[in-house]
């Protein structure tokens, strides 16, 4: 009983103290004047102690003394802490975005290996060098004008601290609606765009553009003139990619379909199934169509022959590198890991992983059931197809949808390869048109179907409040926006790519001579063999490998 009385007394005393503190404490308005609120009495570890003994337990580093003070005489204030918190948030987001960008940059190695492994050894130097130089050529073109056209008028990106200098967009009014067409600020990253936030955005966007340019080199391998490749790549990085990038990501007209026409949240493409992969795949189709098939690909009656690649180890290793890099591609597209719903990076990463796995599984099963063998190169392409397809919806869907999207992509890539080889007769040595073109479009469409309305990136997307929601969750308008995006890709982007590469064909000439093609492009085009110590010999395609056998039966029907 005494104990209970004592306890009650103690409780009353504590409550009284709290009440007194409430009366004596500064009002809310006063507390907000953070610059004047000096925080005293915070003890920090003695520096001489750390100097003498070190800090092996990591208990002393990282304390109040690490916070920069605006006025050392005044001491540490709440404003100093608030500023430090803000800088930490931006610092976390800068670091996240940059590291993800570095991962995406490393995808170039994956693309180089996949493409080189899928072509013949006599063209290995040429294909490797195309993959190598898209980095330099594309980057240069993007720095000169591509970035400005794409992001020169984008809205401030809160996660990166604002990116305020990118504030100039060319807009025309047509049929009573504003149509934002291209950005006009950031050429050469000069003037006000010499800004740390803009630099982070540039690096991340640049490596995405680079992915697009490397898609084309695969489809046109083994017969594309190196000079034509160089001119075509520069144009793609300087104009075509940035144009669609602006319309989708740079506050362009597609992204504003929600604001201007009430179509969901406008065209939504989280990480670039459309912007990156479809643009690359459709450009690849435009160029491959003009260049024509490799000598020996088709017989006189139009039936296709299999021309197997020279190294499956390259192909599968490349696929793994790409799958690794995709963890930068998709989760990195939040442009941060702190604030505005960025913690959804976990969900984005799992969706990415799942769709890649189901894509690979579906392609493997398709080939196994249809042709009797589990084809290695198509399993690899299935993995990439799943990853391409989930790129646009990765930030908006749940795991079940991600698995379905990947599964469908795995089947689509097999059907796509068969269609282009047998029906359209557009020779694509690596299957890039099916992997990136077809599945890029599927990814864009799947946002309009599967987006579950549960994501929340700062309360709005493309200027429309709420979450992106697809047809299956109640918003048919989002599907319309996605379809208009697809129409833009197959209508405008394909046509632009076709017209420009037509001009390149007239001026430079797209295709090497038959003599060069038969000899292999390494010596005539590049001046050096990739494998000088090996004697290269054409193999019998009819059954030398599992891949060859499955592919051979696939193509002979």
Binding residues for other proteins (CB under 8 A): 175, 257, 261, 263, 285-286, 289-290, 292-293, 295, 297-300, 302, 424-426, 476-477, 479-480, 483-484, 486-488, 490-492, 494-495, 498-499, 502
Smallest distance from the beta carbon of 486 to other proteins, in angstroms? 6
Task: Give the residue with the Cβ less far from other proteins, 273 or 347.
Answer: 273
Would you call 7 exposed, middle or buried from its count of C-beta atoms within 10 A (0-12, 13-18, 19+)? Answer: exposed
Distance CA 269, CA 246 (A): 12
Q: How far is CA 85 from CA 334, 337, 344, in A?
A: 20, 14, 21
Task: Give the residue with the Cβ less far from other proteins, 196 or 499.
Answer: 499
Region label for 326, one of left (φ > 0), alpha (ψ between -120 and 50) or beta (otherwise): alpha
Task: Give the residue with the Cβ less far from other proteins, 191 or 491.
Answer: 491
Would you call 52 exposed, middle or buried from its count of C-beta atoms within 10 A (0-12, 13-18, 19+)? Answer: exposed
Task: Give the residue with the Cβ less far from other proteins, 311 or 418.
Answer: 418
Smallest distance from the beta carbon of 476 to other proteins, in angstroms? 4
Q: What tokens does 404 get?
A: 């379905």
Q: How far is CA 421 from CA 289, 434, 554, in A?
A: 12, 11, 10
Which residues on adjacent β-strands are paired with residue 162?
Answer: 157
Smallest distance from the beta carbon of 511 to other proteins, in angstroms? 9
Smallest distance from the beta carbon of 265 to other proteins, in angstroms? 14
Which residues on adjacent β-strands are paired with residue 77?
Answer: 38
Task: Give the residue with the Cβ less far from other proteins, 90 or 285.
Answer: 285
Smallest distance from the beta carbon of 521 to other proteins, in angstroms? 16
Task: Give the residue with the Cβ less far from other proteins, 489 or 554.
Answer: 489
Distance CA 510, CA 528 (A): 21
Smallest distance from the beta carbon of 245 to other proteins, in angstroms? 17
Instruction: Say which residue the tokens 């180890």 belong to.
Output: 313
Give start and end residues of each alpha helix (H) in 255-375: 257-261, 279-291, 312-329, 345-371
User: Which is nearest to 255 in space by CA: 333, 362, 121, 154?
Assistant: 154
Q: Which helix (H) or strand (E) holds 45?
A: none
User: Which is nearest to 434 in space by CA: 462, 415, 407?
Assistant: 415
Smallest distance from the beta carbon of 411 to other proteins, in angstroms? 19
Smallest distance from the beta carbon of 415 to other proteins, in angstroms? 14
Smallest distance from the beta carbon of 343 to other proteins, in angstroms? 32
Task: Give the residue with the Cβ less far from other proteins, 51 or 175.
Answer: 175
Distance CA 261, CA 478 (A): 11
Task: Give the residue with the Cβ less far from other proteins, 472 or 502.
Answer: 502
Distance CA 151, CA 502 (A): 28
Smallest distance from the beta carbon of 177 to other proteins, in angstroms? 9
Give the DSSP letter of residue 157: B
Task: Give the residue with the Cβ less far from other proteins, 457 or 494.
Answer: 494
Task: Give the residue with the Cβ less far from other proteins, 283 or 334.
Answer: 283
Smallest distance from the beta carbon of 263 to other proteins, in angstroms? 8
> ∠ CA(37), CA(40), CA(41), 5° rounding?
155
Contact between 268 and 385 under an 8 Å Cβ cutoff? The reply is no
Distance CA 132, CA 413 (A): 26
Distance CA 521, CA 538 (A): 15
Task: Give the residue with the Cβ less far from other proteins, 411 or 424.
Answer: 424
SS3 of 170, please?
Answer: strand
> ∠ CA(278), CA(266), CA(139), 5° rounding?
40
Give start and end residues of each alpha helix (H) in 419-536: 432, 439-450, 476-488, 494-507, 514-519
User: Which is nearest to 440 in space by CA: 309, 329, 324?
Assistant: 329
Smallest distance from the beta carbon of 468 to other proteins, in angstroms? 16
Smallest distance from the beta carbon of 209 to other proteins, in angstroms? 22
Distance CA 310, CA 481 (A): 43
Task: Give the residue with the Cβ less far from other proteins, 166 or 484.
Answer: 484
Smallest distance from the beta carbon of 419 to other proteins, in angstroms? 9
Task: Give the residue with the Cβ less far from other proteins, 173 or 299.
Answer: 299
> ∠ CA(490), CA(492), CA(497), 5° rounding?
90
Contact between 510 and 225 under an 8 Å Cβ cutoff? The reply is yes
Task: Give the residue with the Cβ less far from other proteins, 425 or 454.
Answer: 425
Distance CA 410, CA 412 (A): 6
Distance CA 182, CA 115 (A): 33
């Amino acid at each position: 009983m005494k104990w209970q009385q004592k306890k009650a007394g103690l409780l009353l005393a504590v409550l009284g103290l709290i009440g007194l503190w409430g009366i004596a404490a500064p009002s809310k308005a006063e507390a907000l004047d953070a610059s004047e609120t000096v925080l005293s009495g915070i003890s920090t570890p003695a520096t001489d102690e750390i100097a003498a003994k070190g800090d092996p337990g990591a208990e002393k580093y990282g304390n109040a003394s690490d916070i920069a003070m605006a006025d050392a005489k005044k001491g540490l204030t709440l404003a100093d802490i608030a500023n430090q918190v803000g800088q930490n948030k931006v610092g976390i987001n800068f670091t996240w975005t940059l590291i993800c960008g570095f991962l995406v940059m490393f995808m170039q190695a994956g693309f180089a290996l996949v493409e080189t492994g899928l072509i013949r050894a006599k063209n290995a130097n040429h294909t490797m060098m195309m993959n190598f130089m898209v980095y330099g050529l594309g980057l240069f073109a993007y720095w000169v004008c591509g970035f400005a056209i794409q992001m020169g008028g984008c809205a401030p990106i809160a996660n990166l601290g604002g990116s305020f200098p990118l504030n100039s967009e060319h807009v025309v009014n047509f049929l009573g609606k504003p149509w934002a067409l291209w950005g006009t600020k950031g050429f050469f990253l000069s003037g006000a765009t010499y800004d740390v936030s803009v630099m982070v955005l540039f690096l991340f966007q640049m490596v995405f553009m680079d992915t697009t340019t490397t898609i084309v080199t695969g489809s046109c391998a083994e017969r594309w003139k190196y000079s034509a490749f160089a001119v075509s790549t520069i144009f793609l990085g300087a104009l075509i990619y940035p144009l669609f990038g602006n319309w989708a990501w740079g506050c362009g007209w597609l992204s504003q379909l929600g604001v201007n026409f009430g179509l969901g949240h406008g065209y939504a493409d989280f990480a670039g199934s459309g912007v990156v992969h479809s643009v690359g795949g459709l450009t690849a189709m435009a160029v491959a169509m003009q260049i024509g098939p490799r000598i020996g690909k088709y017989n006189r009656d139009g039936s296709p022959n299999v021309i197997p690649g020279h190294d499956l180890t390259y192909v599968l290793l490349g696929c793994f590198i790409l799958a690794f890099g995709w963890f930068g591609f998709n989760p990195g597209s939040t442009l941060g890991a702190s604030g505005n719903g960025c913690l959804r990076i976990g969900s984005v990463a799992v969706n990415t992983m799942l769709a890649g796995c189901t894509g690979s599984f579906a392609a493997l099963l398709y080939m196994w059931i249809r042709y009797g063998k589990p084809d290695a190169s198509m399993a690899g392409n299935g993995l990439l197809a799943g990853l391409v397809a989930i790129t646009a919806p990765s930030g908006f869907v749940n795991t079940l949808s991600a698995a379905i999207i990947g599964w469908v992509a795995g089947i689509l890539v097999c059907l796509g390869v068969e269609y282009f080889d047998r029906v359209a007769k557009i020779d694509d040595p690596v299957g890039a048109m099916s992997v990136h073109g077809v599945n890029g479009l599927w990814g864009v469409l799947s946002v309009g179907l599967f987006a579950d309305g549960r994501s929340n990136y700062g309360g709005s997307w493309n200027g429309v409040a709420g979450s992106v929601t697809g047809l299956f969750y109640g918003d048919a308008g989002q599907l319309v926006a996605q379809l208009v995006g697809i129409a833009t890709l197959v209508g405008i982007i394909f046509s632009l790519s076709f017209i420009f590469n037509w001009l390149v064909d007239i001026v430079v000439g797209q295709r090497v001579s038959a003599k060069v093609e038969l000899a292999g492009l390494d010596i005539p085009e590049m001046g050096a063999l990739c494998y000088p110590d090996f004697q290269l010999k054409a193999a019998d395609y009819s059954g030398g490998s599992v891949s060859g056998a499955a592919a051979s039966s696939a193509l002979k029907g």
